[in-house]
Structures are given as C-alpha cells and as structure tokens.
Amino acid sequence: MIYEIRFHGRGGQGTVTAAELLVKAAVAEGKWGQSFPFFGAERRGAPVVAFARISEEKHFLHSQITEPNIIVVLDKKIMEAVDVTDGLKEDGVLVINSSGLFSKESLRNFRICVVDATKIAVSLGLSVAGWVIVNTAMLGAIVKAVPLVKVESIMNAIRNNWPERVGEINAEAARRAYEEATVL
Amino acid sequence: MKKVAAISFPSKGVAGKTGIWRVRKPILDRNKCVRCLICWIYCPEGTILRKEDDSVEIDYEYCKGCGVCSNECPTKAITMEEE
Amino acid sequence: MIQVLTGNHSAAYAALLSNVEVVSAYPITPQTQIVEKIAEFVETGKLKARYVRVESEHSAMAVCIGASSAGARTFTATSSQGLLYMSEMVYWASAARLPIVMPVVCRTLAPPWNIWNEHTDMLLVRDYGWIQFFAESNQEVLDTIVQAYKIAEDERILLPVMVGLDAFTLSHTSEPVDVPEMDLVKKFLPPRANVPYVLDPSNPFTLGNLAYPSHHMKLKFMQHTAMENARKVVLEVDDEWYKIFGRCYSLLDNFMCDDAKVIILTIGSSAGDAKEAAKYLRKRGIAAGVLRVRLINPFPAKEVSDILSKVEAVAVVDRNLSPGNGGIILEKVKSSLYSLKNRPFIKGYLAGLGGKDITVEDYIKIFEKTLESYRKGDSDMEWFSINLEATSL
C-alpha cells in the first residue's frame, strides 16, 4: 500500500521540510518515500501545501496527489480559508494542531488526531522571527495517528537535518507530540 | 476583443483574501496620524484606503501584514501587533 | 550511500562527483537550486571549481565555451526561457566540439507565463548538435550527468550533452538516490584529457575563424559522424557504469514491451505513471507495455523500430508541441518506422502541456482508447483531456 499525505501550513512554516523529513525517516527504515511541494510560487504567510508518499516497495509514480489518506494541518486558522478535507479518502485521517477540544462537525466522519503542537513548540522555545515552528512536533503526532514509521526514526531524521542543539530540541518536540497526541 | 492570448484584468484579491497570510497586524492610532498619506503611497498591496478627508483606513481582508506602512510612518502612528 | 534528494540536488551532486572545474550559470525557476547547491560546494571547499557569475544565460554558455576551449571540465544548467536566450551559444558549443554538460530543467515556454513541466524547450534545440537525454528519476539524473562527461569527452564523440529533468516532478521532488562514492567515480571518470585541444599562449592558434564552404561541409560531416557514434558510446559507457555501480539505463527503457500488444511510447518522469497503468492493465489480461526513450538525440531509430515492429498498436504521448505539426516525438517515431514492412498502428496524443498532470488513470484511458482506435482504424492525433467548451480557462 502507498500512503499519500498532504500537509497544510503557511509559507515559511517548514511545511515542505516536514514532508521531506517524514520521507527521510521512512527511507532510513528501508522503505520507499517521495515528497514534493505544491508546484508553484511560494509566498510567506500564504496557505501552502506539501505532499509525501510512503510505501514498503518502490513505485514509479510522479503524478500529483489528489486523494490522500492522511491530512496534516500545521495551522488551524488555515481551515477557515481552505477545505483541508478536499479529496481525503473515506477512511482517511486528519492530524490537526489544536489546543483543547475540537469541533468535528465540518469534518464528517474522518478519524481525527489532535495535538497542541504550538504549546509544545513554545515550551521548547522553537520560534524563528516571531513564528512558532511546529513542523517537527507535527511529525510526532502523524506517526502516533498512523504508524508509518517509528517515532525514533523521525527523531533521528530530525537530528540528521539540524546540528546539535537545534536537532535535539526539535527531536524532543516530535517525541512529546507523539506522547501527547490524542486520537479522537 | 478577441481572446487568443492570455490576458488578465485588474481585480481585487486575485490571490483570495490575503489577510489570512498575516502574522502581525498594523494598528493605526488616529491621534498620531497627520494625514501625510505616506502609508497610502508605500503600501505594496493597495490595502491602505484613502478617504475624502485624506484620513486612512486599513483593509484587513487583504492586508498581508508586511509592515511597510508601520516602518515608513513618520509619526509612528502605525504599530505592528501580534495577530 | 542512499540519500533523499531533489532532482536539482541530484544534478548538483553529479557535478561535484564529476569534479567539474568551471561552473557558470544564471538562475531561473525551477533550476535555481542546482546552481545554489554548487555555489555552496565551491564556497565550502568541497568542490575545487571556479564559479563564474554572469548577467545572462547567453554569457553563461559563452563562459563555458571559453573555459572548455582552455581544457576545463565545465558545467552549466538552465531552463525554458533561459535555454532560448542562450541558444546562439548552445549551437556554437556543439559545432566547436566542446564536451560541456548541461542539465536542462524542462519547463513550459511563455506566454502565458508558466513555470511547470513541458518538453518543448529542450526539443526546440534538438537539432543544435547536442546529445540529449531525458531522465525518469532523480537517480537517473545523477547517474546520467556523470556518464555524460565520459561520453562527451570520448575522442569518438567530442560533443556537448544535455540532460533533461522535468520541472518540479523531478527538480523539486525528493526521493531516495544512491550517491556513489567519490573514489569509485574517479576511477570511472578520470580528469579530462587534452581533447579536442587546449588553448595555450605559448602555442597560439585561433578558434572559430572563417572557413570556406568545402571545409565547412567536411566539418559538418565529422560532427554528424560523431553524433552517430553516440548511440554506441552511450551503451559502452552505460555498461561500464553498470559494472561499477550496478545500475544501467541503455538507450531505451523497455518496460514489459517484449510480449506487449499495445505500447505507450513517451519520455521523461511521467513514463513512470504510464508503467503503473501498464501494470494495472496486465493484471486484467491486457498485454500493455511502456517504451521510454532515454536518448532522444541522436534518436535510436533502429532500436525503437525493432521493438515497435512486434506490437499491434502504439500510443505516442507528447508533452511538447510544434504548432501546426503536433507532437515532435510522434513525427520522429513515425519516420523511424518508415522502412518497416509491417508497421504498427500509431496514434499520437498531446498531453500534459503547461504542466497539466497526467495521472495513472489518464494513461489507462490512453491505453484503452488506443486499442479501440486500432479496431476502428482511427489514427488521428488527439488532444488529450482538453475542454474547449469551458468559458474560463
């Protein structure tokens, strides 16, 4: 089976990096993975999407992802402007960065996993130029919702991507999110 | 007009309601504003709305929060605040 | 070592592994990351090369021509408008017989402004005398660029090489790439020999001087012969690569064609989705295959016609357009089959122009449509998935 994942974030939030790190973790486990940004101009602050495909076996696909199995929302505010469930498979999963309870009304019967990635990131001091960086925490929540890869592989992929302390803090964000994420 | 090549016409908000892009929001203090219109000239998105009496208003539906107006304002009448 | 790399970074690593000595380029979306990464390699001392900044693609190729004439292994990269702006010098590089290697990130030409994938840019300069490859994966991008130097610098060739990679679908897509060990690559690709000549102030000569018609025609004959040699040398180099690195690509990528009744012939990364469609149809009892042409110039006419002579129906999917003529690959395939006694049924499709996605479902439709058209004898070229009734584009 090929898992197809779509990430919703804002330009400059590390959405594309999140998709790529997920693939790096999968590839380190001997799986096949592919990630790509939305093909177009990237604009800081604007709603952006990125994609990933994770599978046990190699495939030849290079077309776009239109019916993902998993949707990841880095910034809940985007849901006011964009229908994040567009194309999500019937048995699909939504992983949402949100504090506290969550109204499920607009999200039909999709399985939902909630994590307060912003709180985790703030408590670890993860911010750049006034932006709270939640992408690494969200990776921990994704693998809690769907065991695509081990959380340790996510943490290693993060450590390999940034040197020393930055890598450690981001890996810790992923670990905490993995523990705190709740599947509703 | 025969449309045989790509043409686009000016319209408001072709990229959607770009106010959602904002991380910081410009706040105007009317007591400090001297109606010099520098913000109106500098705003790259046309989201400073000029009134008959040369007072200004900010169009938050489309303002992307770049902060150019705040930076240029000679009387510091526009400050940027977290959304 | 397996790394997760974009197509652009795969191209940059290929330049690093090839130990290029002079790099000159002008940035353009979606090629920019190639030269950014190389600039980083040069800045951090990983790559001992001279990076020459220029004001245009025309100048970038002019620098490569100068440096290559002086004996340096040279690299540049461009895309779309950049390739066309560079084109005068592109022709010059080949006729001057310089072994320059250039990845081209294939992007649609404007207007309307468009940054997505199409192959028209590279196919427009097909007759400029460069050897041209189109890659399907990022691994193939890396491997082909390193192979390209070995091919270009071969004394039987001495021609520049272009390697096409699709805008975004390869250039910005990250996938696993086995990056070869530098020591092994050094054995495969030794430093450039002093061919065809090396500018030397103590032994002066002029390049690109006036030549009379009889000399000119002889030089063109030599260039043409060298290009013909490419089909053989590409295979030799690929074989040597296989012996060291365990991967090979040949001139054509034959995917389940040997017993196929219907074949899709296409180029570039989208061929992978056609392969998935062929796999799907095979499970349903339809003998489908995909023939991806990797070496597009010189076109492997004999090899293509050998395979196509055994099938009933062929769909040629062109992601390019010669207005008024149709698909450029379709014309080439048809002319390659002219001398066959039993020619297969061929139907051309124009698809994916301007980066319009071609999905696995689309390729399944193309396979089915081709078989149906074969039964009806309808070989008219078709604009695939286009809605002329739509009021809004």
CA distance A171 to A166: 9
**pLDDT, position C81:** 98
**A135-145 vs A151-161: helix crossing angle, rounded to 10:** 160
CA distance C212 to C375: 56
In-domain check, residue B7:
no
User: A32: which chain C residues are within 8 Å (Cβ-Cβ)?
Assistant: 176
Q: C368: buried, middle or exposed (CB in 10 Å: 19+, 13-18, 0-12)?
A: middle
Give A79 or A35, the one with higher predicted confidence.
A35
B20 CB-near residues (< 8 Å, 6+ apart): A46, A47, A77, A78, A80, A81
CB pairs under 8 A between A and B: 26
pTM for this predicted structure: 0.95
* Architecture of the A2-183 domain: 3-Layer(aba) Sandwich (3.40)
CA distance A35 to A21: 9
**In the predicted structure, residue B31 carries a pLDDT above the cut 90:** yes
Query: Are residues A41 and C115, on separate chains, in Cβ contact within 8 Å?
Result: yes
Interface of B with A (CB under 8 A): 15-18, 20-24, 64-65, 82
The token duo for B20 is 């959602």
Question: Subunits that touch chain C (at least 3 Cβ pairs < 8 angstroms)?
Answer: A, B
Give residue B2's pLDDT band: very low, low, confident or very high (50, 70, 90). Answer: confident
User: B5: which chain C residues are within 8 Å (Cβ-Cβ)?
Assistant: 111-112
In-domain check, residue B9:
no
Q: Classify strands C295-297 and C288-293 as parallel, antiparallel or unpaired.
A: unpaired
For A25, C294, C387, the CA distances from A149, given in Å and listed in that order, are 7, 35, 42
**Cβ-nearest to B20 among A47, A130, A131:** A47
**Contact at 8 Å (CB) between C110 and C345?**
no
User: B18: which chain A residues are within 8 Å (Cβ-Cβ)?
Assistant: 46
The nearest CA of chain B is from the CA of C390 a distance in Å of 14
**In the predicted structure, residue A102 carries a pLDDT above the cut 80:** no
**pLDDT, position A106:** 67
The token duo for B44 is 């790259």
Question: Subunits that touch chain B (at least 3 Cβ pairs < 8 angstroms)?
Answer: A, C
Q: pLDDT tens string for chain C (393 positions)?
A: 999 999 999 999 999 999 999 999 999 999 999 999 999 999 999 999 999 999 999 999 999 999 999 999 999 999 999 999 999 999 999 999 999 999 999 999 999 999 999 999 999 999 999 999 999 999 999 999 999 999 999 999 999 999 999 999 999 999 999 999 999 999 999 999 988 889 989 999 999 999 999 999 999 999 999 999 999 999 999 999 999 999 999 999 999 999 999 999 999 999 999 999 999 999 999 999 999 999 999 999 999 999 999 999 999 999 999 999 999 999 999 999 999 998 999 999 999 999 999 999 999 999 999 999 999 999 999 999 888 776 554
| Interface residue C112 vs chain B (CB under 8 A) | yes
User: A44: which chain B residues are within 8 Å (Cβ-Cβ)?
Assistant: 21
Q: Classify strands B48-50 and B56-58 as parallel, antiparallel or unpaired.
A: antiparallel
Numbered ranges of CATH 3.40.50.970 in chain C: 2-245
Query: Hey, CA dihedral for A36, A39, A43, A49, is it positive or negative?
Result: negative
Polymer length in residues for chain C? 393
**In the predicted structure, residue A46 carries a pLDDT above the cut 90:** no
Query: Which position has the token pair 């890996």?
Result: A171
**pLDDT, position C13:** 98
**In the predicted structure, residue A82 carries a pLDDT above the cut 80:** yes
Q: Looking at chain B, which residue has its C-alpha nearest residue A44?
A: B21
**In the predicted structure, residue A130 carries a pLDDT above the cut 90:** no
Q: Looking at chain A, which residue has its C-alpha nearest residue B15?
A: A46
**pLDDT, position A45:** 84
**CATH fold of C2-245:** Rossmann fold (3.40.50)
Give residue A127's pLDDT band: very low, low, confident or very high (50, 70, 90). Answer: confident
For A39, A80, C173, the CA distances from A84, given in Å and listed in that order, are 18, 9, 22
User: B24: which chain A residues are within 8 Å (Cβ-Cβ)?
Assistant: 130
The token duo for C314 is 């062929």
**In the predicted structure, residue B20 carries a pLDDT above the cut 90:** no
For A40, A95, A176, C154, C183, the CA distances from A181, given in Å and listed in that order, are 32, 9, 8, 59, 46
Q: DSSP letter at C56? A: S
In-domain check, residue B12:
no
User: C167: which chain A residues are within 8 Å (Cβ-Cβ)?
Assistant: 39
In-domain check, residue B77:
yes
**pLDDT, position A120:** 97
Please name the residue ranges forming H helices in A51-127: 117-123
Query: Hey, CA dihedral for C99, C102, C108, C110, is it positive or negative?
Result: negative
Number of domains in chain B: 1
**In the predicted structure, residue A73 carries a pLDDT above the cut 80:** yes
Numbered ranges of CATH 3.40.50.920 in chain C: 253-383
**In the predicted structure, residue B62 carries a pLDDT above the cut 90:** yes
Q: DSSP letter at A29? A: T
Give the number of other Cβ atoms within 10 Å of residue C323's Cβ: 6
C370 CB-near residues (< 8 Å, 6+ apart): C262, C264, C313, C314, C315, C345, C347
Q: B45: buried, middle or exposed (CB in 10 Å: 19+, 13-18, 0-12)?
A: middle
- What domain range is B60 assigned to? 18-82
Q: Looking at chain A, which residue has its C-alpha nearest residue B81?
A: A130
**B12-B15-B17 Cα angle (round to 5):** 70
Percent of chain A predicted with pLDDT > 90: 78
Give C344 or A81, the one with higher predicted confidence.
C344
- Measured between alpha carbons, how far apart are the two ends of chain A, in Å? 24
CA distance A170 to A163: 11
The nearest CA of chain C is from the CA of B9 a distance in Å of 13
**In the predicted structure, residue A9 carries a pLDDT above the cut 90:** yes
How high does pLDDT run on average in chain A? 93
The nearest CA of chain C is from the CA of B11 a distance in Å of 16
* Architecture of the C253-383 domain: 3-Layer(aba) Sandwich (3.40)
Mean pLDDT of A128-155: 94
